[in-house]
Amino acid sequence: MIGMKRISADAYQALRDALPSITWHKRAFESFLRDALRSRPELLAGLDFNGATKRETADALISRLGANEGTYQQTTIDLMLDVAAMTRFPDVEKIKEPDHRELRLQEAHDAVGRLRTLTARYRQEAESRERSAAAREAEAARHAGIKQFSDELRVLRDRYVALHGSSDPHQRGKALEVLLTDLFLLFDMEPRLSYNLAYEQIDGSLSFDTDDYIVEARWRQEPTGREHLDVFKTKVERKGRNALGIFVSVNAFSSDALAQYGSSSPFVVFTGEDLFMVLDGRIGLDDLLRAKKRHVNETGDCCLPARNLLVSSD
């Protein structure tokens, strides 16, 4: 058997001794073996589970396994490990006479204990294989998740690019709101679509990192001016001390608007460039929003372009 280390004679003998001791009745013995070897039914063909003793049947089975180790090595090791893992013997526990029951239970524990000692390295190897297989599966799942995320982000980017060709500003604005909601969903930001309150309309809201944001989105030919940010500021401040705002303006903001909210701003702003960098996978929306929030908390400035973060990380 090239590349395979033979199972020791002691391990075979320990299995031969353990098998008859783990059950008391022949029917339970047969049931255990048929279940343990269900993937190799040919090993049980012709074995006498009625006339022969359990030990005689176990001897015949172990002889088959040992004579064909090249074929059945892993099956044998699996059977050994199944038996070695036993800590209770329900069928033996059914013996009515207490002294007899305790004697047979002790025999079972002793036999299984010897097998457990002799197969310790097989258990370690099996656990190592299981850990490796689990790690491979986890890595494969991670890569699949990353690919799915990238695919969904690419679809959103293509939708955003296609919107630049729209000739209907109103329809384009509505489509932008839906696209932003889908983007927030992709980043687990618990978005809510636009809703109306008394005397005002909210484009949307979201929750992220225990913070609640209200969202305004605009896509007009000209940059968003100060008067629009003034109105948005009032909306944010009406929501309570802990409310924050996100104002998305695809065509950026006027210089006087950014100057006015260069300090003490209750919101952060996103431009079309910021949005495209997120959709293009250059920076995560979660990372960008955290950075913008930290920036406004530290400086009061509503504007932190995504390109600044990319330059600083290069």
Q: What is the pLDDT of residue 137?
A: 85
Spatial separation of the C-alpha atoms in residues 82 and 37, rounded to whole Å: 11
Instruction: Decide: helix, strand or coil at residue 188.
Output: coil
Q: Are 279 and 183 in contact (CB under 8 A)?
A: yes
Kindly give the residue spans of alpha helices, DSSP state H, lying in the chain: 9-21, 26-36, 54-67, 69-84, 98-118, 120-163, 169-186, 226-238, 255-260, 272-279, 285-299, 306-313
The reported pLDDT for the residue numbered 313 is 55
- Ramachandran area for residue 5 (φ above 0: left; ψ -120 to 50: alpha; else beta): beta
Give the model's pLDDT for residue 132.
83
List CB contacts of 36: < 8 A, sequence separation 6 or more.
78, 79, 82
- Give 135-193 pLDDT, tens digit per residue: 888 888 888 888 899 999 999 999 999 999 988 988 998 899 899 999 999 999 988 86
Please, which residues bridge with residue 268 across strands? 246
The pLDDT, as a whole number, for residue 314 is 53
Reported pTM: 0.59
| Residue percentage of the chain with pLDDT more than 90 | 75
At 14-54, the pLDDT tens digits run 999 999 999 999 999 999 999 999 999 999 999 999 999 99
CATH code at 144-313: 3.40.1350.10
Average pLDDT over residues 255-276: 96
Domain borders along the chain are 9-118, 144-313
pLDDT of 8 > 50? The answer is yes
